[in-house]
Amino acid sequence: MYTQHFQLKQSPFSIAPDPRYLFMSERHREALAHLLYGVGSGGGFVLLTGEIGAGKTTVCRCFIEQIPANCRLAYIFNPKLSVEELLLSICDELGIELPADGGDKVSIKGYVDAINRHLLANHAQGLNNVLVIDEAQNLAPAVLEQLRLLTNLETSERKLLQIILIGQPELRTMLARPELEQLAQRVIARYHLGSLTVDETGQYIVHRLAVAGATGPSPFPAGLSGLVHQLTKGVPRRINLLCDRALLGAYVENRRQVTARILRRAATEVFGGEATRTLRRPWLIGAAGVLTGAVLTAAAAWQLAPAPLAQPASVKGAPAVPVLAADDYDGHLHRLAGLWGVTPGHGEPCATAAREDLRCLQGRASLDELRRLDRPAVLRLGGATAPTYALLTALDGQQATLELGGRRQRLPLAELERRYDGSYTTFWRAQRTWRDELGAGARGPDVDWLARRLAEQRGESAPREGAALDGAVLRWLREFQAAQHLKADGVAGPKTFIRLSQLAGVREPRLAAGGK
């Protein structure tokens, strides 16, 4: 309707995916790099998350276009499937012929055997196999477990299937559940796709207008970029919706440029009451700016509790650090990485810290279990409306030391137990070529290290290098796990590596030392 008025060849802000309008911000390029890295890493899971409309599918389409020639791809975009339907979809995508069992129904074993034969045949030809699942937050727990089992298909050299999960932020929460801990440990790369910055929002608008054929003055003055970003939170799909309605409003008023008034009215029409709340926030922020640092700190600490609680005592002489929003999960992980002497780059902290051989361990644990783990961790605390986070740096018999709202404070354990919802994230050190999990029959430098450490603990001679994880070493592993109150399943995961490193005297942050 308005294209001729603004001398455009087509509507620049359609929400339909069109590769001609692809805009790769720094975050999108980094997300794409993580996916391409995962393809060449030899198996396991790669995780890409982002808010609705952040551009996850756009990145996925770009990834599919750039996938190496030696990769065979299966893409599933409707993950609300049963286990059997998932396996059938994988067979359909990869062109796998199923055995004739004399009936219409194929068993799960029949599907898995057929997939394994196909993957082995591809491996023999030097081909990699990649499974991409979009909207993965809709996967049922049983389906996720079956996906984990598919990553058990391997040769002595590498995994046969690389799985990429793409979904909304709740996917990260799902993988933090105790029953999915084994799957979470197999995630070799993860990236959370954030929103556009104010500058990128302006560049995004200019880019789409140019592709649509704009040649004259922009319908959106440069000074409106900040307001567009504020109203849309920098989410590309929301920018499209708002700008499309704003152009229509300018056309109706016979204007050549969108004004701030037109933009605000468009936001009300598109986003409803949410736009009104968004527009009020700057006044709240401005009022907060007159508060002193002490009040800001108290406010941040107050947000951590679902109800008013006693004010925690500040640690005497503890240095103040920059104020950190209580709901800033990534910011707390950056602080945690700092205790390891690592400054993660731009992007999802777990993924960027991995470049420094620092890996994330996410799970659920009681305070007693965290004390045995003996390392600083980011804790998730239940709030009145949304989760908040705190950095645990020390834990004794009666109190915990946490970083709350920019200041280290001591909190009675009973009070922390009321707030802590059981979810934590910490780091552990491992060489880049090491696997997150070692099972019976595994070989490699990580197995050699494990065998040496176990032998040291028992006063035994170290086995020869290159030996498989079996026999006496597998028995040593199970006995060590049982003695350390770990799951004695003969599978060496992060917690086993962590405890062996601690007993060997490896220098790393400890809870008992206050996180120093």
229-257 residue pLDDT tens? 999 988 899 999 999 999 999 999 999 99
Question: Which one, of 73, 116, 78, 77, lies nearest residue 94 by Cα?
Answer: 73
Residue 307 lies in a domain: no
Least confident of 38-47, 205-214, 485-494: 38-47
> Between 379 and 42, whose confidence is greater?
379
pLDDT band at 327 (very low <50, low <70, confident <90, very high): confident
Question: 399 forms bridges with which residues in the sheet?
Answer: 412
Q: Which residue has the higher pLDDT, 386 or 420?
A: 420
Round to whole Å and give the CA distance between 502 and 197. 42
CATH number for the domain spanning 203: value is 1.10.8
pLDDT of residue 375: 92
**47 and 176 share a domain?**
yes
* 39 and 126, same domain (yes or no): yes
Mean pLDDT across 51-72? 85
pLDDT at 387 over 60: yes
Contact (CB, 8 A) for 395 and 401: yes
Average pLDDT of the segment spanning 406-425:
85
Confidence grade of residue 407 (pLDDT, cut at 50, 70, 90)? confident
Q: Are strands 162-167 and 44-50 parallel, antiparallel or unpaired?
A: parallel
| Per-residue 3-state assignment (H helix, E strand, C coil) for 59-102 | HHHHHHHHCCCCEEEEEECCCCCCHHHHHHHHHHHHCCCCCCCC
Average pLDDT for 180-191? 84
Query: How many Cβ atoms sit within 10 Å of the Cβ of residue 350?
Result: 25
Give me the pLDDT at residue 443, please. 87
Residues 189, 52, single domain; the answer is yes
Residues 136-162, mean pLDDT to the nearest whole number: 87
According to the model, what pLDDT value does residue 300 have? 38
Closest among 115, 134, 22 to 72, alpha carbons compared = 115
- The answer to whether residue 502 is domain-embedded is no
| Strand blocks (E) in 214-257 | none
Residues 6+ away with beta carbon under 8 Å from 244 = 11, 13, 14
Same domain, 188 and 230: no
Task: Please give the average per-residue pLDDT across 416-432, as a whole number.
Answer: 86
219 and 129, same domain (yes or no): no
Q: Are residues 161 and 56 in the same domain?
A: yes
pLDDT of 475 over the 50 cut: yes
What is the average pLDDT value for the chain, to the nearest integer? 82
pLDDT for the residue 498 = 92
Closest CA to 79 of 149, 161, 166, 145: 166
pLDDT in tens, 19-34: 788 888 888 888 888 8
Determine the structural domain holding residue 209 and report its residue range: 197-271
For residue 504, being part of any structural domain is answered with no
Among residues of the chain, what percentage have pLDDT more than 70?
85
Range in 41-50, 203-212, 500-509 with the lowest mean pLDDT: 41-50
Express as a percent the part of the chain with pLDDT over 90.
32
Q: Do residues 419 and 456 both lie within one domain?
A: no
Last residue of a domain, one of 168, 193, 218: 193
Query: Which CATH number goes with the domain that contains 367?
Result: 3.90.70.10
Q: Could you give the count of Cα atoms lying within 13 Å of 480 in the half-sphere of its Cβ?
A: 26
Is residue 175 in a domain? yes
SS3 state at 493: coil
Long-range contacts of 22-25 (CB under 8 A, 24+ apart): 22/58, 22/62, 23/203, 23/204, 23/207, 23/208, 23/236, 24/62, 25/196, 25/197, 25/200, 25/203, 25/204
Confidence at residue 272, expressed as pLDDT on a 0 to 100 scale? 78
Distance in Å from the first CA to the final CA of the chain: 63
- Pair (219, 366) in one structural domain: no
Residues 63 and 183 in one domain: yes
Q: Are 182 and 176 in contact (CB under 8 A)?
A: no
Other residues' Cβ atoms within 10 Å of the Cβ of residue 383: 17
Cβ-based neighbour number of residue 279 at 10 Å: 15
At 281, is the pLDDT very low, low, confident or very high (cuts 50, 70, 90)? Answer: very low
What gap in Å lies between CA 197 and CA 357, rounded to an integer? 29
Average pLDDT value for residue range 335-354? 80
What 3-state DSSP class applies to 334?
helix
Shared-domain flag, residues 187 and 74: yes
Taking residue 470's Cβ as centre, other Cβ atoms within 10 Å add up to 14
CA distance 134 to 136: 5
Q: CA geometry: angle at 507 spanning 504 and 510, to 5°?
A: 100
Is it the case that residue 132 has pLDDT exceeding 90?
yes
Residue 516 within any structural domain of the chain:
no
My answer on whether 345 and 407 are in the same domain is yes
The answer as to whether 404 is a domain residue is: yes
- Domain contains 353: yes
Q: Tell me what pLDDT residue 308 has.
A: 34
- Per-residue confidence at 356, pLDDT binned at 50, 70, 90? confident
User: According to the model, what pLDDT value does residue 32 have?
Assistant: 86
Tell me how many domains the chain contains.
Answer: 4
Give the per-residue pLDDT at 346.
Answer: 65
The residue out of 247, 271, 295 marking a domain boundary is 271
Residues 95, 188 within the same domain: yes
Q: Report if residue 296 sits inside a domain.
A: no
For position 514, what pLDDT does the model report?
44
Rounded to the nearest 10 degrees, what angle do helices 225-232 and 260-271 cross at?
10
Evaluate if residue 18 carries a pLDDT over 80.
no
- Pair of tokens at residue 264: 């605000």
- Of the given ranges (85-99, 125-139, 424-438), which has the lowest mean pLDDT? 424-438
| CATH value at residue 182 | 3.40.50.300
Closest among 335, 337, 340, 354 to 405, alpha carbons compared = 335
